[in-house]
Amino acid sequence: MSREFAPHTTRIGDIVDYNARELPGHKALAYHEYNFSQTFEEFRDTCNQVAKGLMAIGVGRGDHIAMWANNVPEWIYTQFGSAKMGAVMVTVNTNFRAFELEYLLNQSDATTLILINGVREKNEYIRILQQVCPEIKDCAPGELKAEKAPCLKNVVHLGEDDIPGMYNWKDMVEMGKKVSEAELAERSESLDPEDVIMMQYTSGTTGYPKGVMLTHKNLIGNSQGMAEIMALGPEDKLCIPVPLFHCFGCVIGTMCCTVSGATMVPITSFKPDTVMAAVDALQCTALHGVPTMFIANLEEMENKSYDTTHLRTGVMAGSTCPVEVMKGVIDKMGAEELTIVYGQTEASPGITQTRRDDPMEIRTETVGRALPHVEVKIVDPATNETLPPGETGELCSRGYHIMKGYYKMPEKTAEAIDADGWLHTGDLASMDEQGNCSIQGRLKDMIIRGGENIYPREIEEFLYKHPQIKDAQVVGVPSKKYGEEVAVFIQPKNGTGINEDDIREFCKENIAYYKIPRFIYFVEEFPTTASGKIKKFKLREMASQNMAE
């Protein structure tokens, strides 16, 4: 097997084994926070132990395992261990509370839940689970019968404590010694690249969250395409501060490292000083992050000196990437080959990516062109006709990377993927003659003021040029006269006294009158998801509430 893996014939476990054979002493995993690392051979052995532990507690091929934790080592061992023994890993948002957990456990039919005791406070996840499944306090490990989560039988705790009704992680791994290597090998060999191996839940900004079913083929092909564009190899070390429960972390992060032989450098919970300390100490060559993370990292560099001379590439993604932030990362961090990836969970997640040698204009003003073996087109949302270069419409994509569907939601799947296999992203974009795409925003985020189409991204990019603005987010709010008006939420840079008049004056001579924000609000921070995406629907709610007062 060569380093280029054929997605239609390769399984994730095959690549773990390949790395252990070909790069046995090379570092697979390094946590600067814990002063801990593993070679590819040691990593393979640990993943095998976890796979056998899961088999020992009765997890079968195709069973669903929910993982509720931040970026701890066990998360990664479970990702690759479950892939080796054929279970489907269901990622759980670290911000979830009782109602959301109950929905996910039910909707996903999870038979096993692996959880840390808490992220923000000790035992918070234990308390939430006991609230959803009170029966766990009175049952033996592996024998849970919960009214609100009838499929759930096993709960595994990532910690030293023995908790009623739960296996301890170490106990589960120890139980795995009863499963032979031959039994694991037989299970691994029975798997098919087209098998669903991971399920990620969309954020659910409209309706209930949907379980996106992703296969070995989806994840291997997509990560390989992105790793190739970044030119990742065994000499690279990739710092991963983005959440593993999101595709950014566990595909663009851990999977890109696995297919390329690069070293994973995860950060347990994002803190700019922790990130920059790891980049410095481990001489990371690549760094991922959403724009808000990179903004915080740049601020940290202003307060303390860090060696970033080894930084070369990485990915900025997850939400609209401000041009000024991109330039700052390239100029101040030295990541001259930094790329932007655009995609969504339903696409495994990458659809387009800028190239390392693209001109600065392309790398800062577009999200690049289609990944290898991926099709992209822009269509008129009303007629579904393909639009010519330069015109704005809905971005659609087709190829190996498109999800198998939403779990137990055939109607929603049919709404997202048409009869010809095109995924309709719901994103507004335009494409130039070379295939580079520019994202204007969500179809539903487009503001229509008095018949004029306004794209929030355009106004945000303009406002980033103001020297006193750290971040700006534009949303539409209801207007009796015009249908909608433009509202902007501005996060000023520290120590600046910018006001509404300054903003309007700045806009006056530079953008059309109808694009100038009618409502201007100043905030210290934005409401975000756990993966760093700014919740624009929350900003709309805040603006509407302020208008009503």
Last residue of a domain, one of 181, 201, 221: 201
Exposed e or buried b for every residue in 361-374, given b needs 16+ CB within 10 A?
ebbbbbbbbbbeeb
CATH code assigned at 128: 3.40.50.12780
Note whether residue 401 is domain-resident.
no
Boundary (domain end) residue, out of 153, 174, 201:
201
Buried b / exposed e along 503-517 (16+ C-beta atoms within 10 A): beebbeeeeeeebbb
**Is residue 197 a part of any domain in this protein?**
yes
Residue 414 maps to a domain: no
> What does the pLDDT read at residue 356?
94
- Its domain, for residue 95, covers 42-201
In what helix (H) or strand (E) does residue 327 lie, and over which residues does it extend?
Answer: helix 323-328
CA 92/CA 244 separation, integer angstroms: 10
Structure tokens at 260: 């390329």
Beta strands in 499-546 (DSSP E): 519-522
Question: What are the φ and ψ backbone dihedral angles of 77, each rounded to 5 degrees?
Answer: -60, -40
Average pLDDT, the chain: 93
Nearest in space to 109 (alpha carbons), one of 137, 130, 88: 88
Per the domain annotation, does 465 fall within a domain?
yes
With respect to residue 429, please indicate whether it lies within any of the assigned structural domains.
no
The model's pTM is 0.85
* pLDDT given at position 207: 60
The pLDDT assigned to 312 comes to: 97
Q: Are 421 and 400 in contact (CB under 8 A)?
A: no
Q: Rounded CA gap, 63 and 165, in Å?
A: 20
Among 417, 462, 456, smallest CA distance to 439 is for 456
CATH number at residue 464: 3.30.300.30
**pLDDT given for residue 481 in this prediction:** 79
pLDDT score of 1: 41
Domain count, the chain: 2
Secondary structure (H, E, C), 99-144:
HHHHHHHHHHCCCEEEEECCCCCCCHHHHHHHHHCHHHHHCCCCCC
Structure tokens at 46: 């640990």
- The answer to whether position 224 is within a domain reads no
Residue 205 pLDDT = 43
Q: Is the peptide bond before 478 cis (omega within 30 degrees of 0)?
A: no
How large is the C-alpha radius of gyration of the chain? 23
Which residue type sits at 540? R
Report d(CA 514, CA 454) in Å as an integer: 9
Q: Of the residues 176, 201, 226, which one is the last residue of a structural domain?
A: 201
Q: What is the mean pLDDT of each run of 10 residues along the chain (549 residues)?
A: 82 98 97 97 98 98 98 98 98 89 95 94 92 96 96 95 95 97 97 98 69 98 98 98 95 98 98 98 96 92 97 86 85 95 95 94 91 97 94 96 97 95 94 94 78 80 90 89 89 86 89 89 88 83 81
- Residue 3 tokens read as 């380093």
Token pair for 374? 């991926």
- How far is 518 from 37, CA to CA, in rounded Å? 53
**163 is a domain residue:** yes
Asked, for residue 292, whether it belongs to a domain, the answer is: no
Structure token pair of residue 154: 């096993």
- Name 471's bridge partners: 491
